[in-house]
């Protein structure tokens, strides 16, 4: 059956049995509805939102049937197709590892394989058909299935191992069917991902009523549960929802219902041990946004290669940007940002739907505290794919001369791409971070210089990657900014390949870089030294760097309202040339003004050398008399209000400086009313 054909309703228990109990069934009763050959879709991210009790029951049903040939009198279950977007497991026995049995699973279409070693082993051993498709594509594909669209057109995956020209996401010789096709539309290349019906959806929530309405108030994420349920419902399949508590019919707040009961066939009340909020935390009120917590005081990272890499990467952060931090090495960037007190200048996000807040790590990865919003995973990838990410920091496992990256497959080890392809391909700027080589690397930082005591025994920069998770050529064609940051050097992607742009102090280019690579990087000009502050213990003063704007960007004139906005936030005046530059820029900006405007000046985080106060106040006095009708100033700094106010007062300029923009606006509103 195709996704667009008329669905045939999946067998379901008799109506008579459901009258008294509503849709409430035990986990063993729920999994009895699953038939051999069914396509089963599961929701979850690591352990968040994963229906552990249902997975355990499905495993037990298979093992019972295998041991006695009939189990509880039913036909043994076999040959399931498993579909999931994000990795769902703890790397050992939980999550989808329960289903890693030969005979139970025939095919897996997964976004990430690193957390499911049992399934990974079956794929590598050619025991199942195995596909790795981008996490975002799979999460969005559930919506396409629900809407009976024949497939999804996307540029995500072009040039990578998902591209049919590079394998189409197939992971072994047993996997032969093409799920991805290359298509040309109006001269542009796209990948076409085919849809297929979902027979069984296994999802999770917090509370369900007897009608099957499900809320998620204690869940850390909402993920793609609604999309999966809708896909199964519209495919004629069944929806099994695991929850931790029950409510009477019609008692749930309809605004909190995430999965409507009309889409749910079975509700399983889980045992507490099988319904942890994450695989690392039974329940955190901070993860569910039930409460906000004080940001813990995180001790600074020790000055090792990990901190060096994170520090250099942090220089690429931009104020007011939307950022994605990958797991592993990129997590260090958040630590550096916290130490440098810049974490408030940008918005961190993670692919399962977190916007803002502080992402968690380890088995809590995907959860976050103090978030601004939690949205469904398919919508997060809509945002990412459409260019919503300003910058992404992702791990660097293996790179080649064309700038291609591999993080998905290394010999017999199958990690899978997860959201890497979506994120790396769609971000305006992508920064890959990792050590220059792997293995037994040993280095020291002495007097602001890097010293290699022992090289790692595994090269990361090779002539050609074995599995292409990121296409350097495709990125270069689109003009994407791509950096590769290591502890000893920085490369930048160009149309001709990797250019060596920066080298750490103390590093010999030929001995420590070129000789340790599988190819020679481009060096049209001598690379510059990495900032020495990176290699010393004190904080780098990153906040001032990130808030630094070109002077012209700090001025904005609105002729209709006759307002002249001046943003001096984070600006520093240290010399007479700085003072003169401000005067010239104001005169340039107002050269065509027909009447003198009202100037509004933001002095937050503004700093001025004491010896420059007189020159600065004299310059302001001349601007006020020659160019402004009046001036409104504000800053939260009481010190600056006192010093600058006194300097202006001595020159006969209105000295009052408000404490906040709100106070300044209130004053101007009263003045306008008068």
The secondary element (H helix, E strand) that includes residue 154 is: strand 151-154
649 with 642: CB under 8 angstroms?
no
367 with 220: CB under 8 angstroms?
yes
Q: How far lies 272's CA from each of 51, 243, 345, 453, 595, in Å?
A: 12, 10, 39, 51, 71
Neighbour tally for 137: CB within 10 Å: 26
DSSP-derived pairing of the beta strands 563-567 and 528-529: unpaired
Taking the C-alpha atoms of residue 595 and residue 586, their distance in angstroms, rounded to an integer, is: 14
Q: Known catalytic residue: 351?
A: yes
DSSP-derived pairing of the beta strands 238-243 and 266-269: parallel
Nearest C-alpha neighbor of 9 from the set 214, 221, 209, 197: 197
Nearest C-alpha neighbor of 211 from the set 18, 493, 414: 18
Catalytic residue of the set 244, 351, 402, 502 = 351
253 with 206: CB under 8 angstroms?
no
Alpha helices in 235-370 (DSSP H): 305-314, 331-339
10 with 3: CB under 8 angstroms?
no
b/e sequence 231-245, b meaning 16+ C-beta within 10 Å? bbbbbbbbbbbbbbe
646 with 582: CB under 8 angstroms?
no
DSSP assignment of 367-380, as one string?
BEES-SEE--HHHH
Structure tokens given for 132? 């790795």
Residue with token string 């103090």: 370
Nearest C-alpha neighbor of 133 from the set 416, 337, 409, 325: 416
Q: How far lies 332's CA from each of 69, 82, 319, 502, in Å?
A: 52, 34, 18, 21
**What's 248-278 look like in SS3?**
CCCCCCHHHEEECHHHCCEEEECCHHHCCCC
Active site (catalytic) residues: 351
């Amino acid at each position: 059956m195709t996704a667009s054909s008329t669905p045939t309703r999946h067998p379901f228990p008799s109506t008579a049995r459901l009258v008294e109990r509503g849709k409430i069934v035990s986990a063993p009763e729920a999994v009895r509805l699953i038939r051999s050959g069914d396509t089963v879709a599961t929701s979850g991210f690591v352990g968040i939102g994963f229906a552990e009790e249902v997975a355990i029951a499905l495993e037990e049903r298979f093992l019972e049937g295998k041991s006695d040939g009939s189990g509880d009198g039913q036909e043994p279950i076999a040959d399931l197709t498993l579909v999931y977007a994000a990795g769902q497991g703890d790397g050992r026995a939980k999550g989808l590892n329960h289903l890693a049995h030969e005979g139970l699973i025939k095919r897996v279409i997964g976004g990430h394989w690193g957390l499911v070693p049992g399934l990974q082993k079956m794929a590598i051993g050619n025991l199942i058909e195995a596909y790795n498709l981008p996490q975002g594509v799979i999460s969005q594909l559930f919506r396409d299935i629900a809407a009976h669209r024949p497939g999804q057109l996307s540029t995500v995956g072009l040039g990578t191992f998902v591209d049919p020209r590079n394998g189409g996401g197939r992971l072994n010789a047993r996997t032969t069917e093409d799920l991805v096709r290359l298509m040309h539309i109006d001269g542009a290349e796209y990948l076409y991902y085919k849809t297929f019906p979902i027979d069984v959806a296994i999802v999770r929530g917090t509370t369900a009523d007897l009608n099957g309405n499900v809320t998620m108030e204690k869940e850390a994420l909402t993920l793609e549960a609604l999309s999966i349920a809708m896909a199964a419902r519209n495919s004629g399949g069944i929806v099994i929802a695991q929850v931790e508590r029950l409510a009477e019919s019609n008692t749930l707040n309809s605004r909190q219902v995430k999965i409507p009961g009309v889409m749910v066939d079975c509700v399983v009340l889980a045992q507490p041990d099988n319904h942890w909020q994450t695989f690392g935390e039974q329940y955190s009120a901070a993860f569910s946004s039930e409460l906000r917590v004080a940001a813990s005081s995180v001790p600074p990272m020790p000055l090792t290669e990990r901190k060096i890499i994170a520090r250099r990467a942090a220089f690429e952060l931009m104020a007011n940007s939307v950022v994605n931090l990958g797991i592993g090495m990129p997590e260090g960037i958040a630590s550096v940002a916290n130490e440098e007190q810049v974490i408030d200048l940008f918005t961190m996000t993670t692919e399962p739907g977190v916007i803002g807040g502080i992402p968690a790590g380890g088995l809590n990865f995907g959860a976050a505290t103090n978030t601004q919003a939690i949205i469904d995973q398919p919508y997060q990838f809509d945002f990412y794919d459409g260019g919503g990410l300003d910058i992404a920091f992702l791990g660097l496992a293996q790179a080649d001369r064309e700038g291609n990256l591999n993080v998905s497959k290394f010999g017999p080890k199958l990690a899978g791409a997860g959201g890497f392809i979506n994120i790396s391909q769609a971000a305006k700027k992508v920064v890959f971070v990792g050590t220059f080589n792997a293995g037994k690397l040993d280095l020291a930082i002495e007097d602001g210089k890097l010293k290699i005591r022992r090289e790692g025994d595994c090269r990361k920069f090779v002539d050609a990657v074995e599995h292409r998770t990121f296409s350097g050529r495709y990125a270069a064609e689109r003009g994407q900014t791509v950096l590769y940051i290591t502890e000893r050097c920085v490369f930048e992607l160009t149309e001709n390949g990797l250019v060596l742009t920066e080298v750490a102090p103390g590093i010999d280019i030929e001995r420590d870089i070129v000789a340790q690579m599988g190819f020679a990087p481009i060096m049209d000009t001598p690379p510059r030294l990495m900032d020495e502050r990176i290699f010393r213990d004190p904080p780098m003063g990153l906040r001032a760097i990130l808030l630094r704007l070109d002077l012209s960007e700090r001025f904005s004139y609105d002729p209709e309202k006759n307002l002249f906005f001046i943003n001096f936030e984070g600006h520093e005046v240290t010399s007479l040339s700085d003072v003169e530059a401000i005067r010239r820029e104001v005169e340039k900006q107002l050269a065509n003004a027909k009447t003198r405007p009202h100037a509004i000046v933001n002095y937050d985080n503004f700093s001025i050398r004491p010896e420059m106060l007189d020159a600065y106040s004299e310059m302001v006095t001349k601007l006020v008399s020659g160019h402004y009708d009046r001036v409104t100033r504000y800053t939260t700094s009481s010190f600056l209000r006192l010093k600058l106010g006194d300097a202006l007062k001595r020159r006969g300029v209105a000295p009052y400086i408000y404490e906040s923009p709100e106070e300044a606006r209130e004053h101007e509103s009263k003045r306008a009313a008068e």
